[in-house]
Amino acid sequence: QQPVQSPQAVILREGEDAVINCSSSKALYSVHWYRQKHGEAPVFLMILLKGGEQKGHEKISASFNEKKQQSSLYLTASQLSYSGTYFCGSWGKLQFGAGTQVVVTP
């Protein structure tokens, strides 16, 4: 069963924050985050390999709670360029969530 992402979609104004969650019913050994802009290929954001690990990319950061089998992606002070669909990918078995569509408006 693929990871479950929430919310399915979020609309933000520039400068606002958002959190995207990714949870799995199976053990997570690592979590990948990707962003796909409309009409383009998915682009890698970050990998989290250890429980409790946190990473950052621009003003986008993520955490990984291995015990809870979940990861969260934090969009801080969102910019127009953050618009796109965000996917989490779980490894152990290669699976992606269905995606969270993020729209940042001026």
Partner 1 sequence: DVKVTQSSRYLVKRTGEKVFLECVQDMDHENMFWYRQDPGLGLRLIYFSYDVKMKEKGDIPEGYSVSREKKERFSLILESASTNQTSMYLCASSFGGQTTYNEQFFGPGTRLTVL
> Which chain residues interact with partner 1 by CB under 8 A?
2, 5, 29-30, 32, 34, 40-44, 47, 49, 87, 89, 91, 94-99
CB of 61 to partner 1, least distance (A): 17
CB 102, min distance to partner 1, A? 14
Q: What is the DSSP letter of 80?
A: G
* Opening angle at CA 95, ends 40 and 63, nearest 5: 85
Number of C-beta neighbours around residue 67 at 10 A: 9
Q: Name the residue nearer to partner 1 (CB basis): 79 or 85.
A: 85
Q: Which residue lies nearer to partner 1 by CB, 18 or 88? A: 88
Q: Smallest distance, Å, CB 70 to partner 1? A: 17
| Closer of 74 and 96 to partner 1 (Cβ) | 96
Q: Kindly tell me which of 30 and 63 has the beta carbon lying closer to partner 1.
A: 30
Answer left, alpha or beta for residue 98, where phi above 0 means left and psi between -120 and 50 means alpha: alpha
Q: Based on the number of CB atoms within 10 Å of its own CB, is 47 exposed (0-12), middle (13-18) or buried (19 or more)?
A: middle
Residue pair 32/24 in contact by the 8 Å Cβ criterion: no
- Please state the closest distance from residue 84 (CB atom) to partner 1, in A: 13
